[in-house]
Chains A and B, each alone.
Chain A
Amino acid sequence: MRLHLEEEIRRIKENLLMMASLTDRSLSQAIRALVGRDDQLAAQVEADDTQLDSLQVAIDEGVVMFIAKQRPVATDLRLVMVALKIAGDLERVGDQAVSIARAAIQLNREVPLEMPADMSRLATISVEMVREAIACFVEGTPERVPALVQRDKEADAINRKLFSELIARMEADPSIIRRAVHLLLVVRRLERVADHAKSIAEEVYYLGKAVDIRHAHPKPTLPRGDVSAETPPAG
């Protein structure tokens, strides 16, 4: 019985990791398509999205079957609940990648508009946050989550700065409005990617420590000195 249980857990984890890997690839490709004005790459991102959707359905079905057959408790229960939520977040990250790819295709039909310098920083942060959140899940290191949650604030700040900057540019030169609006939407998508990464990280924290920090104020803080130390949540 336990062998079946381990096998089903392994399959759910495997699908989740496959989904994470595809999401990472789609997001990176969407950003490359935007920066490199590559229509073909952008179209590829859109085409690949069905794979992500199928994997999410497979994970959902796997979890439902697992709960019905194995009646999981404790860590097993938290794992499958978290798998459902992480799959949902990854699917949404995939959707954001598709939206960025579509914006890239739109922008490629226009005269190039110089991107704000911070856009690349925001893209880097968002991609790194998703990778770090998945790494925390794979390696079982919830103690790294507080730093990741903190990083989302950086993404929010850049988002606000880019919004002001692009609005100011549109006010100064109304001829760029159409292109700038597309960029604004991309900025918004990247910021949402960071939000999903944060959400995945919070689920990883719950998985490891059985503490829900989603609405905790203040969030668990980074330990001083020893970054590997266990950090009790505050608030």
Chain B
Amino acid sequence: MEKDATGVQGPGGGDAGGDPIISVRGLDFFYGPLQVLSDISLEIPRNLVTALIGPSGCGKSTLLRCFNRMNDFNGDARLARGSIRVGGVDINGPDVDPIELRRRVGMVFQKSNPFPKSIYENVAYGLRIGGVRRKSALDEAVERSLRNAALWDEVKDRLGDSALALSGGQQQRMCIARAIAVEPDIILMDEPCSGLDPQATMRIEELIQELKEQFTIVIVTHNMQQASRCSDLTAFLHLGRLVEFAETMRIFTNPSEKRTEDYITGRFG
């Protein structure tokens, strides 16, 4: 593990470090009495795709959910030690509004979760919550978001149709459009392709590559090929600890840690 003098692990082995948008230091996290994250320190740079990998129960989804305080919805969840800064701000500080945080740090879930509304209303939802009322502004944002999510051409003539009528892959891209409509800085993706066929998966992966021009993306995936195809940096977690964080190319060709090698080559996990 490459750590600086303060114990923070940056992506080792290259110059991809840059300016961190997420900075985690000494994070201990619990669900009730169970410690699920131990002494996690890492810095995630802007405008790159960072993959969190590791066996089931290693804490990768918990870590992802720490970045926009989604764990707040779990009454047993408790940050016992350490800090998470997004854009330099301690997101667990007393003055931080979690709703505003989640606008800046959007999330796409494993299972697409369209609201039982029209495609248009799904994408415009966050903007309306944020107080945007002018129709032209909403129209413009919906079109821009759907274009960015590579869905516009497929739905532009049926924006009033129910989002539930879309295919699984389209629903997931619509959820991405909904996430980016409010112009977040970061998009968190928790296994966004797990229920999709190879074609739909490929479209989401291509989309991720396009979106990183504008957003920082952190993705949790069980799919090693997906992590190697679409991420710039990869963090490997095991038993709640960060084992290795480095450029994806390095992780998948010459990892520094034996545990990483054993996991990515299928020798355990």
Which residues of A come within 8 Å of B, CB atoms?
1-2, 5, 71-78, 210
Q: Is the CB of A74 within 8 A of B266?
A: no
B261 within 8 A of A: yes
Instruction: Select which of B254, B265, B267 is within 8 A of A72 by beta carbon.
Output: B265
Q: Closest approach, in angstroms, between the C-beta of B54 and any C-beta of chain A?
A: 15
Instruction: Select which of B224, B252, B267 is within 8 A of A2 by beta carbon.
Output: B267
Q: Is the CB of B255 within 8 A of A71?
A: no
Interface of A is mostly: helix
Q: Is the CB of B225 within 8 A of A71?
A: yes
B92 within 8 A of A: no
**Cβ–Cβ < 8 Å partners of A2 in chain B:** 266-267
Beyond A210-B253, A210-B254, is A75–B266 a contact (Cβ under 8 Å)?
no
Q: Which residue of B lies closest to A78 (CB)?
A: B253
B228 within 8 A of A: yes
Q: Is the CB of A76 within 8 A of B225?
A: no
Interface of B is mostly: helix
Q: Is the CB of A73 within 8 A of B252?
A: yes
Supplied contacts A2-B267, A74-B264, 9 more A-B pairs, CB within 8 Å? A5-B266, A71-B225, A72-B265, A73-B228, A73-B265, A74-B255, A75-B261, A77-B252, A210-B253
Beyond A78-B253, A210-B253, A210-B254, is A73–B224 a contact (Cβ under 8 Å)?
yes
Would you list 11 pairs from A and B whose C-beta atoms are within 8 A, ordered by A residue?
A1-B266, A2-B266, A72-B265, A73-B224, A73-B228, A73-B252, A73-B253, A73-B264, A74-B261, A76-B265, A78-B253
For window 63-110 of B, CB contacts with A under 8 Å fall at none
Cα–Cα, bound, A2→B267 (Å) = 7
Q: Which residue of A lies closest to B266 (CB)?
A: A2
**Cβ–Cβ < 8 Å partners of B265 in chain A:** 72-76
Q: Closest approach, in angstroms, between the C-beta of A34 and any C-beta of chain B?
A: 43
Cα–Cα, bound, A2→B264 (Å) = 12
Cα–Cα, bound, A1→B265 (Å) = 11
Q: Closest approach, in angstroms, between the C-beta of A142 and any C-beta of chain B?
A: 13
